[in-house]
Amino acid sequence: MPRTAIKASSIVTADGRLGDTLVVADGKVAAIGDGLTAHHTVEFDGFVTPGLRDAHFHPATYTASLVQPALKTAIDFAEVGERLHAASTSLDPGVPIVGLRLDDETLAEGRLPTRVDLDTLAPDRPVLLHRYCGHIAIANTAALELAAIGPDTEDPVGGSLDREDGAPNGILRETAVTLVAAAMARQRGSSITPDQIAAAMRGLASLGLTSIGAIVGCGDSTWADLGDETALLADAAADIPIRLNVFVIAQDIAQLEGAAERVSGGNVRFIGLKAFGDGSLGGHTAAMHEPFSDVDTVGTLRLDHEWAVGLARQALPMSERIAIHAIGDRANAAVLDVFDQLIADGADPAQLRVEHASVLGREEIARFAHSGVTASVQPAFMASETAWLEDRVGPDRLPLTYPLRTLTDVGVPLAGGSDCPVEPPHPLWGMAAARDRCGLVPEEALTASEALALFTSGAAAAIAEPAPLAEGSPADFVVLDRDPLRATPDELRATKVLATYVDGNLVDVSGVGEVWQG
């Protein structure tokens, strides 16, 4: 590759303007400054920024959201049924249907459907609908029967089956989802293909994403109906144009080691373990110190301390990062207990990530600051939760829900992501939400430069990548039609990506079509 000068209106990072020219040589950043020249020149009427990163992304589930029934915008049960019927017309009789992103908060009925409702809406085959948070699902009677779930079925560890008159009513919480999802996968196999994953990842480049922290399962987690996601990624790796830094949801070290061997090729590489501490705010399964304000429950603490410490100790020698999901304050405290023990054993705090860190108390924030572990945060959650967040957590906990300003001010490393397909995959939308917070607790907002860092240098550190646009780093960068440091949050949401480069090569996004909007 010839030495190339990328000329633009400005080269912009979270530290400000660096010049008007980026020089690329052998796929690396060779120099940045004003008026630089090279053998070959490419000019843009736009602004070059570091490649955008998403530190927490579910690539297989996102791909499924492009090909399976998506229910987030369904207004009532009847429309859910219409979408399920439309999906069934392309399937053989009896083949299970999985629907994604059901949102009971926006349904006219104001509640989750039960198996009885689904039996009426889609009576001829097994059906499993995932709530958009990914921590609750609803199965119809045929799906429960497929999984051999009946009145005598006990709640699994870390999950529960909602019941009416002692019998499961189809609503599955946390690990209980896996019971049905795995049975669906055994009957029909995965609903997505490696080619579809590769195409979906190419579409992400059109949004300016050059890297993601890819969360994948081995076929025995919540998204078990997709099969072994590590095998799908391995088969797609040669055709994936952006970097996938893979966290594997594993139950033991042997499973983690097998997955790590599979997801190591092309732009796909294994970087660590992912585990769960609790559930979601929307599903009332986040583990809280005090009950939710609108339902008398303290959620579900899924984390077994000794198991987590033991597996993390085994995983650390082969991992660059360990990530544990924690949304509620009680779950965050439990995960910090695990990380404190690992740090005492000699682990580098930079290797440790708390996923979400959504609801925190002053004590948890102080512990974050003391420990030095990273908070992997998703500002876009606020866009979906504006209508009900205060009802869930109450006025006393709301000020420290998604406390981005407070965490930044006490020195906690932050990394930005979307948790897609929980939220849309647009990193510029995430930056905008970090700045205006969709109107929620505006004093916790980040500045424009901090928001850009969240999805560039902060996310890069959290997925074990070199500092973006540093000399000698991979030439991963994007060209935007406006300066992200000067744009308002609403202007950011409307900003267009003119070009995306990985290793100094322009990613071809022709034919991608419209990327999923959520």
Average pLDDT over residues 487-506: 98
Using pLDDT thresholds of 50, 70 and 90, give the confidence band for residue 27.
Answer: very high
CA quadruple 55, 56, 60, 63: dihedral sign: negative
pLDDT > 80? residue 123: no
Other CB atoms within 10 A of residue 368 CB: 25
Which CATH entry fits the domain spanning 53-59+191-506: 3.40.50.980, 3.40.50.2300, 2.60.120.10, 3.20.20.140? 3.20.20.140
Residues 6+ apart with CB under 8 A from 314: 253, 256
Cα separations in angstroms, 88 against 74, 99, 268, 348, 500 = 17, 11, 34, 50, 37
Q: How many residues does the chain have?
A: 518
pLDDT digits (tens, 9 = 90+) for 452-466: 999 999 999 999 999
pLDDT band at 513 (very low <50, low <70, confident <90, very high): low
Residue bearing tokens 């060779």: 30
Other CB atoms closer than 10 Å to residue 119's CB: what's the count? Answer: 16
Helix ranges (DSSP H) in 318-469:
329-344, 362-371, 381-385, 389-397, 404-409, 427-436, 448-454, 457-462
Q: Which two tokens stand for residue 33?
A: 């400054």
In whole angstroms, what is the distance from residue 67 CA to residue 64 CA? 5
Report whether 194 contacts 236 (CB < 8 A).
yes
Q: By the 8 A CB rule, do 504 and 475 touch?
A: yes
Does the fold of domain 69-188 match that of domain 53-59+191-506? Answer: no
Rg, Å, the chain Cα set: 22
Does residue 133 contact residue 125 with C-beta atoms inside 8 Å? no
**What pLDDT does 225 receive?**
83
Q: What is the mean pLDDT of residues 289-306?
A: 97
Q: Give the C-alpha separation, 154 to 303, whole Å.
A: 19
* DSSP letter string, 258-318: HHHHHS-BTTEEEEEEEEES---TTTT-S--SS--SSSS--------HHHHHHHHHHHGGG
**Closest to 141 measured CA to CA, from 162, 165, 112, 117:** 117
- Top pLDDT among 35 and 221 is at 35
Strand, helix or coil at 233?
helix
Q: Nearest-CA neighbor of 295 among 385, 381, 391?
A: 391
Which DSSP string corresponds to 168-230?
EEEEEEETHHHHHHHHHHHHH--SS-HHHHHHHHHHHHTTTEEEEEEEEE-SSSTTGGG--HH
pTM: 0.94
pLDDT at 189 over 80: no
Residue 213 sits at φ, ψ, to 5 deg, of -85, 105
Q: What is the DSSP letter of 157?
A: T
Q: In the predicted model, is pLDDT for residue 263 greater than 60?
A: yes
Count the Cβ atoms, other than its own, within 10 Å of residue 93. Answer: 7
What digits encode the pLDDT tens for the residues 304-362?
999 999 999 999 999 999 999 999 999 999 999 999 999 999 999 999 999 999 999 99
pLDDT at 518: 56
Whole-number pLDDT of residue 219: 87
What are the tens digits of pLDDT across the range 208-221? 999 999 999 998 88
* CA atoms of 269 and 246, how far apart (whole Å): 6
Residues sharing a CB contact under 8 Å with residue 283, sequence separation 6 or more, in sequence order: 131, 133, 135, 136, 173
Banded pLDDT at 512 (limits 50, 70, 90): confident
Q: What three-state secondary structure class fits 512?
A: coil
Q: Quick count: other Cβ atoms within 10 Å of Cβ 120?
A: 12
Q: Which CATH class is domain 69-188?
A: alpha beta
Q: What is the 3-state secondary structure (H, E, C) of 246-270?
A: EEEECCCHHHHHHHHHHCCECCEEE
Q: At what angle are helices 59-67 and 229-236 packed, to 10 degrees?
A: 90
pLDDT on residue 69: 86
Average pLDDT, the chain: 95
Task: Judge residue 221's burial from the number of C-beta atoms within 10 Å of its C-beta, 0-12 exposed, 13-18 middle, 19 or more buried.
Answer: buried
How do residues 43-55 score in pLDDT, each as one tens digit? 999 999 999 999 9
Q: Which two tokens stand for residue 375?
A: 């908070």
The CA-based dihedral angle spanning residues 134, 225, 271, 132, taken in that order and rounded to the nearest 10 degrees: -20
Would you kindly state where each structural domain of the chain is located, as residue ranges? 53-59+191-506, 69-188
Provide the sign of the torsion angle of the four alpha carbons 380, 382, 388, 393, taken in this order. positive
